[in-house]
Amino acid sequence: MARRTTSSSTGSPPGPRNRTPQPLPRRRRTFGDFLKAFGAFLALVVLLVGVPGALATQIGWPLPTGAPSLDWLQQEITVDTFINVLTVLVWFAWAQFTACVLVEIKAALSGVGMPNRVPGAGPSQLLARQLVAALLLVGATAASFTPGLSQLGHSMEGNQRGTVAAAQQTPGGLFGQQQEQAASNAAAAIAEQASNAASHAESGSGSTAEEGATKYYRIQPPEGRHHDSLWEVAERHLGDGRRYKEIYQLNKDRTQPDGSKLSEASLIRPGWILEMPADARGGDLVEMPDEAPKASEQVQRQIHEYAKTGDQQQGGGGQQGAGAGDRDTAHISVPQQRPDSDGSGASDQQAQAPHASGASSEESGFSFGLPEALVGAPLLAAGLLGALGRRRRQALWQSALGAVGGRRGMEPPIPTGTAADAQDALLVGADPEGVRLLDLSLRGLAAALAAESRPLPTVYAAWLSGNGDLHLQLAQPAGKPPAPWQLGQDQTFWMLARTDAESYEDVDTAAPYPGLVSLGTMDDSRLLLNLESVPGIVSLSGSERDRAGVFASVAAELATNGWSDRMTITLVGFGQDLTPLAPNRLRHLDDIEALVETMEAETRQRRGALGAAGQDSVLTGRTGPAQHTRWAPHLVLLAAEPQGEDAVKLAELAADASRLGIGYLVGTESGDLPGAAWEMEITGEGKLLAPLLGLELDAQTLPLALQQAVVELFVEADPERASTNTATPPFLVDISEQGRPAVYARLVGPYEIIGLETPDGERSPLMHEALALLLLHREGVHPRVLSSALWPRGVTDDVRDALVERLRAWLGGDPDGTPRLGTDASGRLTLAKSVVSDLDVLRSLYHEATQGQGVNSRAVRGRLLTDALVLVRGPLLADRPQGRYGWLTHEIIDAQLPLLVADIGLALSAFHLEKGRAEKAIEALNASLNSAPADERLWNELLRATHATGDTDRLQRLAADLVSRSGARGVPPRTEALLDELLPTWRSGVAAVG
């Protein structure tokens, strides 16, 4: 593979880049400066004092002195009338200009924000700004907060947009070319700076003391681009983005003019003041000595107060955490909890599940009988469980369609060992309802904003609180959210109560924030970071093993979550291949070089696509007409630390990634990674630390042993392996007269139990549900799985154990004294062979008919198949009460039972057709269709059996019925071909019948 080359790799110094203005020279005020200031003073005196004085003394009062009357309209227009009208206009112009001067002086002296625009005063305000700037030029303090003289000839819009803010422009046309050029320049600059970053870091802290003046920078408004960041400021004015830490150390926790404070990795706000290291350079920087004798007292007081906060901070000797009252959006802070309506403090299943750190005390990641990393990860577990169920159903149907003349792979393999533990942990920890509400809430928000023609706000993080509320933390205030969303603890939090989320319905809109992924828990709240929105690389330091656990958890959740539509997840440096979890989403690359080349191409393609669509970011594109076909995120998980040129190139690509819908999570051993906007660390104790973000989480991880167990579950469920699965049921019963069970439960149809007295009291439904769960899992049920199924919102162990004891007493024991509810070596609850369900009998009869006694005896096969079909009385647990048996959504029995009934009907139909008993075959097929009405195989065999009767009219009516059932989807291709063969005139006949 060809190696990339850049200017930095050739050894020659890079050419001129024009990336930043030249350093501001320190100069003394010249005589010309004083002349300009004096001239500006005279002009202001003439315009502000001379003009109204002349109007008052020379012309006088221009307006009429009496009340208006109709006679005015009949008077002759004289020269005096014309002069009076012009005088009124001049007075209005003077008042407007005076207002402009006051606005400009206030903005210049306060240094907070941009000057307000005076309505309709474009040229007047520009003139006022020039005069005020020239007048205040001789004052050191005022010069620091007014536009440079080089900008005085520019338009108002040009003056308001700082020159440092031109690095990124709106895509499309010339702006797109400028942006690409800026990104190219950034790459060369980062490469040039990589070699001397260490020396800069060493000298940066002491540079301020060596200079006699302090330099300041005022944050400019975005003006059509992303908000500025400390990294970008350091890159432009210090020559190395990694020196942003020096700026942070000079300004952290110091009160800004608007009352807020600076905190790391945030979007710094327009109007803020940053004290800069003394070697900073650039046209937007100003030098501010400690004493500014020519400045106003207000400006001097602001500077001294700001310097005082800096001295206190430096003397404090430590980083201060975010106070309880600090609402700055810079921190990824925990939202305030809303009290429960009932005051009980009860929370949903997500909160009830143990918040495990994810890093188990044992090397394998297993403890307390089940892997706590999955038990304590409700969203990850729900995603994996849902994806596993879909995979198993797909394998089941693929096996059914390929099984001609006999079923193959009816039963998916039962996991054992660590895979069984992993599956149990998924069942215990999963919160599918929480995932559903999260998805509905986000899509509902997107639809509501689109209806109001409002863009999607940039979301840095989402918090799921203990009471089920959803809090979105925005990068910046975005106004009032659409109902039923509410403002949270400040303007950067949008909150949706769980009860309001439950009222949402499905909407046809694209997933707005597919890059959200769980990182861990903090104060009973779960944090989901939006990797797609981070303005740069998210770096993760720590030991290789601990980092791998975090990366695997992030990859698994992104690949299987339920709040995303389409996405690409590129994995590099993963020891365990996770692509079996979601082959359509996950992509594994061999090395960093291949990753860089891939992302270079995709970055160019996305920039071009955004420019062609006229969009400035993927967020605006997702609410447009092409929302379902464009702007799917691409998230890069690089577990291995990039080095040298690769690290520099990734930093360049990540600089514009958030606008393009690309996110980067990169591992690092040293913790010093070029382009890292947010830095996190995973500890050996399972803590995810980001001190500058204000985070200390119990990390969500997926240890290596657990990765292998989860991947095994998916590999065994792969549809390509369906033909190798066993067709033997997990539990075979004795179908002879001697095998009559002691307890017989009828599950296929209405739920009935024979052989036991109905339990008294209100506990009866709960005990019936527990028995049904055990009957559907003859391999055994872990006690924690049982409690999670029966009490989705959580339950204490003593309540669960009491139920198990009551269930054991209800079932009783066999004649030899063995309890019918026992416990196996792994601690799972199992039923004795004397406790049987009709589903067990149904499976056993079909197995004996097709693979046992019925293989060599046609009469036995017919009897067994007939007996099996008689057992089918309807769908599984047909009369189950509403609100119970929710655990059935995790099962595939709802797919297995119709296929099993269809297989029995097909086998019995073939049995009768062998002897020419078409009516008997039709009867068997119709009975099967009652339980499996959508099975195409049954319809095809019914067409063949009806054709065998020789009744063309009957066949025509059947064809018409089939067409009407097919609806808008139309007749399936195989069935259509069969109709063409059996009844060539079926199309015209269907039309006639219709």
DSSP 161-185: S-GGGGSS--SSHHHHHHHHHHHHH
Which residue from 622, 677, 679 is spatially nearest to 654, judged by alpha carbons?
Answer: 677
In the block, residue with structure tokens 């006088």? 60
Q: Is the dihedral of CA 819, 823, 828, 832 positive or negative?
A: negative
- Residue 720 class from Cβ within 10 Å (0-12 exposed, 13-18 middle, 19+ buried)? exposed
Residues listed for the chain: 994
Helix (H/G/I), strand (E/B), else coil: 668? strand
Task: Quote the CA–CA distance of 281 and 24 in Å, as a whole number.
Answer: 6
Helical (H) or strand (E) element with 945: helix 936-948
- CA max distance for the chain: 127
The 8-class DSSP code of residue 59 comes to I
- Sheet containing 743-746: order of strands: 752-754, 743-746, 835-837
Residue 521 near residue 688 (C-beta atoms within 8 A): no
Q: What pLDDT is attached to residue 894?
A: 84
Counting DSSP H helices and E strands in the chain, the numbers are 34, 22
Q: Residue 375 carries which side chain, given as an amino acid letter?
A: V
Residue 241 tokens read as 């983005």
Task: Quote the CA–CA distance of 934 and 255 in Å, as a whole number.
Answer: 67
pLDDT by 10-residue block (mean), the chain, 994 residues: 38 33 41 75 83 78 63 65 78 85 73 60 76 64 32 34 32 33 41 41 39 66 58 80 78 77 65 80 60 50 66 40 35 67 41 36 46 91 93 81 49 83 92 93 92 89 90 91 91 92 86 92 90 88 92 94 89 85 90 89 84 73 54 87 87 84 88 84 91 86 92 85 59 84 93 90 89 94 92 89 93 93 92 94 92 89 93 89 87 88 93 92 92 89 93 90 84 89 82 58
Measured between its terminal Cα atoms, the distance across the chain in Å is 65
Q: What is the number of alpha carbons within 13 Å of residue 431 lying toward its C-beta?
A: 25
In the block, residue with structure tokens 């944050």? 219
Q: Residue 972 carries which side chain, given as an amino acid letter?
A: P
Residue 221 near residue 160 (C-beta atoms within 8 A): yes
Residue 427 near residue 785 (C-beta atoms within 8 A): yes
Task: Quote the CA–CA distance of 810 and 827 in Å, as a whole number.
Answer: 20
List, in order, residues 6 or more apart from 748 with CB less than 8 Å away: 838, 839, 842, 871, 872, 873, 874, 875, 876, 897
Helix (H/G/I), strand (E/B), else coil: 261? strand
Q: Is the dihedral of CA 347, 352, 358, 360 positive or negative?
A: positive
Q: What pLDDT is attached to residue 553?
A: 95
- β-pairing, 752-754 vs 743-746, is antiparallel
Phi, psi of 16 (to 5 degrees): -60, 135
Q: How many CB atoms lie within 10 A of CB 257?
A: 17
Q: What pLDDT is attached to residue 559?
A: 93
Q: Residue 475 carries which side chain, given as an amino acid letter?
A: A
DSSP 476-523: S---SPPTT-EE-SSTTEEEE-HHHHTT----S---S-TTEEEEEEET
Residue 698 near residue 357 (C-beta atoms within 8 A): yes
Helix (H/G/I), strand (E/B), else coil: 156? helix
Q: What pLDDT is attached to residue 159?
A: 36
Label residue 917 left, alpha or beta by phi (over 0 means left) and psi (-120 to 50 means alpha): beta
Q: How many CB atoms lie within 10 A of CB 850?
A: 20
Task: Quote the CA–CA distance of 73 and 734 in Å, as a whole number.
Answer: 114
Residue 619 tokens read as 């967020």
Which residue from 244, 285, 282 is spatially nearest to 20, judged by alpha carbons?
Answer: 282
- Alpha carbon separation from 811 to 423, 805, 880 (Å, rounded): 27, 10, 21
Task: Quote the CA–CA distance of 878 and 875 in Å, as a whole number.
Answer: 5
Phi, psi of 458 (to 5 degrees): -75, 125
